[in-house]
Structure 1
Amino acid sequence: MKKYIRKGMQLLLSTGVVIGLSVQAAEVELKVHHFLPAPATAHAKFIQPWADKVMKESNGRIDIKIYPAMQLGGKPPQLFDQVRDGVADIVWTVPGYTRGRFPLTEVFELPFVAGSAEATSQASWEFYEKYMQDEYKDVHPILIHTHAPGQFHMRDKPITSLADLKNTKIRAPTRTINEALSIIGATPVGMPVPAVPQALSKGVVDGAMLPYEVTLPLKAHELVKYHTEIGGDRGIYTAMFLFAMNKKKYDSLPADLKQVLDNNSGLALAKQIGQVWDAADNPGREAAKKRGNQFNTIEGAELAALKSATQPVIDNWIKAMNDQGKDGQKMYDDARDLVTKYSH
C-alpha cells in the first residue's frame, strides 16, 4: 500500500511540476478602455480578439481586461488624456472628439478622401509613419484606422439633393464635416456616437452621419426612416480611430513582450481591421432594409455639386497646414494617393 501511495505522490508532484511550467502567471496587466458597448464591432470583432491573441502569444504573461462603455469613468473626449496619463493602459478612441487637437489626422476626414476602410486604414498608418509621429508623441500608437465611409440617416426627411440638406440639423462626427455641413447650409450638431440615439429620439437632430456598422448596436436604424448614400469610390467622410498605449507602460515592458505587441500592431493590423469594418457595414444596412426604410443615392450632377460645395473645407485645411510651415497640398495629395495605392 505504501508503495502505491508513494508512487501516487510522485505522480502528483510530477504533474504539479508540469502544470507549473506550462501555466505562466501574468507579469503585466493591461486595462483597455473605450466608449462603445460590448456588442459593437470595435469591442466584439477587434479589441476582444486582439486581446485574446496578445495574451495567447505572450503565453499568459500579459493579462488584458477590457472596459467598454466608459466603465472606468469620464467621457469619450477624455480617452486620449486617460491613456496619456495612465488612467488606462490602452484606449480606443476618436481623435476628432477633441476639436483641433490632431490637425494632421484630419486629412482622411476631409470630404471625398476616404475609400474603403481596408484601403483608408492602411493609408492612415503609412501616413502616420511619414507625417504624424510628432502628433502622437505622448502615446504609443498600436493602430490608426477608419470605418467605412459614413452615410446620412434621417428621421423624417429623405435627402436626394444638396438642396435637401439646407436647414437640417445633422449630427456631425468630426470638425471637418461640421464645417462642410455649415457651408452647405445645414446645422451641424457635434456629439459622440453614444449620444446619437437619444438625440434622434428626442428630435434634437433631424439625422446623423454614421457608418452603417454602428447603426445596429445603437439601434439607430429603428429611429430613422431614410438613408442617403454617397455614390462613387470616395465617401463624403470617415472618422479616424486611434488604438494607443500609455508610453511609459509600453517602455517598461521587457523586449520580448514589446515584440508581442509590435507583432499585433501597425500596417498588417490596419489591413485586417479595415476588412472587419467594411464587412460590419452589411448587417447594419440589412437591418435597415428589413425595417422597410428608404434608401437614396447622391450621384451624377448632385454628387458633383456636393463635391464642389465642400471643396472650401479642403482648401481651408491645406491653408492651415501651410500656415504651420507644412506643405498642405502635398500632404493632401499623398493621403489621396495612399488610399488609391491600397485600393488595388
Structure 2
Amino acid sequence: MNKYTLGAVAGALTCTFALEAAATEWNVSVWGKRRAFTEHVEKLAELVSEKTNGEFTMNISYGGLSKNRENLDGISIGAFEIAQFCAGYHPDKNRVITVLELPFLGVENLEQEVAVSNAVYAHPAAVDEMAQWNAKLLMTSPMPQYNIVGTGEPRDELAEFDGMRVRATGGIGEAFELVGAVPTSVTSAEAYQAMESGVVDTVAFAQHAHLSFGTINQADWWTANLNPGTVNCPVVVNIDAYDSLSDAEREALDSSVSEAIDHYLVNYGELLKRWDTVLEEKGVEKVMLSEKAIADFRAKAAAPIRDAWIADMESQGLPGQDLYDLVEKTLAEAKSGS
C-alpha cells in the first residue's frame, strides 16, 4: 500500500471517528415497564432522533440504570442524562414541587395537571432547588386523581378507613392518616406484593399503575370518586449534559417536549375511556362514596395539610404561600380557559 493510499485510509478513518464523535447518545432512567406513564419519554426520544436525523438518540432503560428512588441522585452525579422520579419518594430533596401533591387541590383533568405543574416548575424556587441536584425540570408526567383498590368488603364510608393499611405517598398518604388510615410508602413496583402478602389492605394509584403493577388483579373493589389528589412525577435532565448540547440538539429537545406531552395526553385518554371495561373484565366492583363522605374527608385533610405545608416551607426559607397561590391562580385560569 503506497503512501497516498495510506493517507486516504487515514483520512477516511479520521472522518469516520469525527462523525461518531459528533453523535450524541443519552441514557434515560425510568422503571417498571413501558406504559402510559412513560409514553411521553418514549415519544421524546423518537422526536429528538427524527429531528436530528439520528444524530441525537436516547437509550431508555426500565430499571437497568437505577432504582426509582435513586434516579435524582443518579442525575446529580451524571450517571445518566435524563430520569423520571416522583416527588413523594424523597420530599426532602424536592420540597418545592410537593405543593403539587397536596390533597384536594381541585384539579379535574390531565390538561389542568400539566398547567399547574408547568407553572410550579418554572418558579425560581423550583429551578434553584433542582439545580442543587444538577437537574433541570423538563416535563411533568400528568396523572389523574388517585383512587384506591382493595380486597374484601368495599370501604365506602369514611369511618371504614380507620385502621386501613394503604399504600399512599406524599400528601395523599397524609390525608389518609388524618382519617385514621395507616399509610405506607412502598414503591410502585412493591405494591402488588404488599397487597398480595397482606402488608397493605388497599393501594392508591392512578389507573395506569393499577394495570401496570398488577394491583387491579388483586382487587375486589375500586373507589371511582374518592379523588384525594395525585402525585407529581417530573422528568429531569442533567444540567451539564443539557448545557453541552449543540444549539440544534437543544432546539430538538426543547421543541419536542410539548409534542411529547400532547402524545401522552391522547394515549392516557384512551386508557381512561376503557377503564370501566377493564373493571368489568376483572370482576372489580366500582364503589361510589357519598358526597358527604368525600366532603368530610376534604374537611379533615385539605386545609390542615395545606396550612402545615405552607408553614413548613416558610420556616425553611421557601415561598410556600406564593407557591400555593400560584397553583390556585393557574388552576383557576385553566378552568376558565384563559
Name the TM-score, length of structure 2 as normaliser: 0.86
Show the counterpart of 1:290.
281
Show the counterpart of 2:243.
251
Q: Aligned partners of 2:318 and 2:41: how far apart in 1? A: 34
- Among 191, 194, 202, the residue aligned to 2:186: 191
CA shift in 2, pair 1:277/1:342, >3 Å: farther
CA displacement at 1:290 relative to structure 2: 1.6
> Mean Cα displacement is larger for which, 97-106 or 179-188?
97-106
Show the counterpart of 1:280.
271
Query: Does 2:115 correspond to 1:119?
Result: no
CA shift in 2, pair 1:97/1:207, >3 Å: same
Show the counterpart of 1:158.
154
CA shift in 2, pair 1:319/1:270, >3 Å: farther
Show the counterpart of 1:9.
none
CA displacement at 1:127 relative to structure 2: 2.0
Q: Secondary structure at the match of 2:294?
A: helix
> Mean Cα displacement is larger for which, 271-280 or 79-88?
271-280
CA displacement at 1:157 relative to structure 2: 3.1
CA displacement at 1:190 relative to structure 2: 0.7
CA displacement at 1:270 relative to structure 2: 4.4
Q: Secondary structure at the match of 2:256?
A: coil
Query: Does 2:80 correspond to 1:84?
Result: no
1:12-23 equivalences under 5 Å are none
- Among 78, 81, 85, the residue aligned to 1:93: 85
Post-superposition Cα deviations, 1:278-308, rounded to whole Å, max 9, x if no partner, equal 4433444431222221111224211110101
- Among 226, 229, 251, the residue aligned to 2:224: 229
Alpha carbons 2:37, 2:208 under 8 Å: kept: no
CA displacement at 1:136 relative to structure 2: 1.4
CA displacement at 1:172 relative to structure 2: 0.6
Q: Aligned partners of 1:287 and 1:155: how far apart in 2? A: 17
Question: Which amino acid counterpart does residue 301 of structure 1 have in structure 2?
Answer: K
Show the counterpart of 1:210.
205
Q: Secondary structure at the match of 2:305?
A: helix
Show the counterpart of 1:61.
55
> Mean Cα displacement is larger for which, 160-169 or 117-126?
117-126
Q: Aligned partners of 2:213 and 2:273: how far apart in 1? A: 15
Alpha carbons 1:80, 1:95 under 8 Å: kept: no
Aligned residues: 313
Q: Secondary structure at the match of 1:227?
A: strand
Question: Which amino acid counterpart does residue 300 of structure 1 have in structure 2?
Answer: E
CA displacement at 1:139 relative to structure 2: 1.0
4+ long deviations beyond 4 Å: 267-272
CA displacement at 1:244 relative to structure 2: 1.2
Show the counterpart of 1:308.
299
Q: Aligned partners of 2:45 and 2:245: how far apart in 1? A: 16
CA displacement at 1:214 relative to structure 2: 1.4
CA displacement at 1:76 relative to structure 2: 1.2
What do you get for the CA RMSD once the two structures are aligned? 2.1
Alpha carbons 1:109, 1:239 under 8 Å: kept: yes
Name the TM-score, length of structure 1 as normaliser: 0.84
Question: Which amino acid counterpart does residue 129 of structure 2 have in structure 1?
Answer: E
Show the counterpart of 1:12.
none
